[in-house]
Amino acid sequence: MISVADALAQLFALVSPLAPEDVALTQANGRVLAQDVHATRNQPPFAASAMDGYAVHAQAIKPGQSFDVIGEAAAGHRWEGTVGPGQTVRIFTGAPLPAGTDHVIIQENITRDGDVITLDDSANDNPCVRPAGADFRTGDTVKAPRTLTPSDIALLAAMNIATVPVTRQPVVAIIATGDELVQPGETPGEDQIIASNSYGLAALVQTLGATARLLPIARDNVASLELAFDLAADADLIVTIGGASVGDHDLVGDVAQAKGMQRSFYKVAMRPGKPLMAGRMGHAAMIGLPGNPVSAMVCGHIFLAPVIRKMLGLGTHPAPRETLLLAQDIKANGPREHYMRAHAGPDGVTIFDRQDSALLTVLADANCLAVRPINDPERKRGTPIDIIRL
């Protein structure tokens, strides 16, 4: 068995960031920016009023001063001309400042009589002006890589970037294996169960920004597994679930190798998830996950997610951890790194009593995995522990 860190390093070696592609701005949210992009204009492109009021020259401001109103400026409708001494232009938020002005008196600080305004005794020391280029300037850069958020999309739109270079989404083919499985919605036989792992992993893959391709269940025979691998041949990453152990019906490894898989490793010193297999098959990387539901999902977070992030150009990083305090005493850990279902709350990290790798209800109640190193000694309530958020 190899360590989790060694397994992850070998998995990273199997994949590379995918090529960029251009997508419309409307399709870029959640995608990974593949190349730096640059603003094509200043924002704002002109000195603009930040308030509704009256545009004047700052040097003319003093309590009780009167100004003649000679025009009006609104957003999208600038006032052409130059404002002279003793003059002002009625201005609204977002409108360009007229020539000869550099200050906006807010409308609450004046009285108006016809076309004459008079300032009150307020200091009027806030210019209420957004300078040209105050937000960004032509050539300013949005750095790659980054997963684009709605705020990023708004920024790119303001920069007048309509087409965005993003990393191509990896296609992940997911193959559940086993005669005991039927699809959700079907009627299982007395000795069958519903295929759940593939759906949970597909949801994880899609959350990560990849494309999940759920293939038909592969049965426990060579022909069915060969067909499944043939259907997955054009994927970027092939994920099998189950059939990778050492029993008489565990055929995935043998069939994969017969199909040309170059195996990198088999078995990892972790709980849950010991029977983990990885290698390359054609131009695709392959990860063989264990069949127990929780084992498959935990390995999805620990191995599959970082691999997909590398394929998206987001670097080679393990699942992010944070350190919190235990809400309970816990016993010593054994010879495998243990990823324990737990809940992080106001009182600290509570590790659930039941850690059987078949219990999806416990996984659904968990919001984190508490990480126990190999041979970790017992810990007392209030001591730190690393967690991985789910």
pTM: 0.89
DSSP 60: G
Tokens of residue 106, six digits: 């807010």
pLDDT tens-digit map of 248-277: 446 898 899 999 999 998 899 999 988 899
Q: Where do we find the tokens 């200091």?
A: 123
Query: What is the reported pLDDT for 266?
Result: 84
Is the Cβ–Cβ distance between 371 and 321 less than 8 Å?
A: yes
Amino acid, res. 190: E
Is the Cβ–Cβ distance between 14 and 265 less than 8 Å?
A: no
**In whole angstroms, what is the distance from residue 388 CA to residue 323 CA?**
9
Environment class of residue 320 by beta-carbon count within 10 Å: exposed (0-12), middle (13-18) or buried (19+)? exposed
Average pLDDT in the 354-381 region?
A: 96
Query: What is the reported pLDDT for 248?
Result: 46
**In whole angstroms, what is the distance from residue 117 CA to residue 84 CA?**
15
pLDDT greater than 60 at residue 21: yes
Q: Where do we find the tokens 């890589």?
A: 145
**In whole angstroms, what is the distance from residue 339 CA to residue 272 CA?**
7
Query: What is the reported pLDDT for 274?
Result: 87
pLDDT tens-digit map of 134-144: 999 999 999 99
Work out the percent of the chain whose per-residue pLDDT is above 70: 98
Q: Provide the residue count of the chain.
A: 390
pLDDT tens-digit map of 30-82: 999 999 999 999 999 999 999 999 999 999 999 999 999 999 999 999 999 99
pLDDT tens-digit map of 150-162: 999 999 999 999 9
pLDDT grade for 247, boundaries at 50, 70 and 90: low
pLDDT greater than 70 at residue 244: no
Environment class of residue 341 by beta-carbon count within 10 Å: exposed (0-12), middle (13-18) or buried (19+)? buried
pLDDT grade for 246, boundaries at 50, 70 and 90: low
The average confidence (pLDDT) of the chain is 95
pLDDT greater than 80 at residue 245: no
Is the Cβ–Cβ distance between 82 and 48 less than 8 Å?
A: no
**In whole angstroms, what is the distance from residue 321 CA to residue 371 CA?**
9
DSSP per position, 183-233: -TTS---TT-EE--HHHHHHHHHHHTT-EEEEPPPBPSSHHHHHHHHHHTT
Rg of the chain on CA atoms, in Å: 31
Tokens of residue 215, six digits: 């293939």
Average pLDDT in the 186-202 region?
A: 95
**In whole angstroms, what is the distance from residue 54 CA to residue 43 CA?**
22
What stretches of 45-156 adopt beta strand conformation (E)?
A: 48-49, 53-56, 66-73, 87-91, 103-106, 110-113, 116-119, 129-130, 141-142, 146-147
Tokens of residue 2, six digits: 């190899």
pLDDT tens-digit map of 313-359: 999 999 999 999 999 999 999 999 999 999 999 999 999 999 999 99
DSSP 330: B
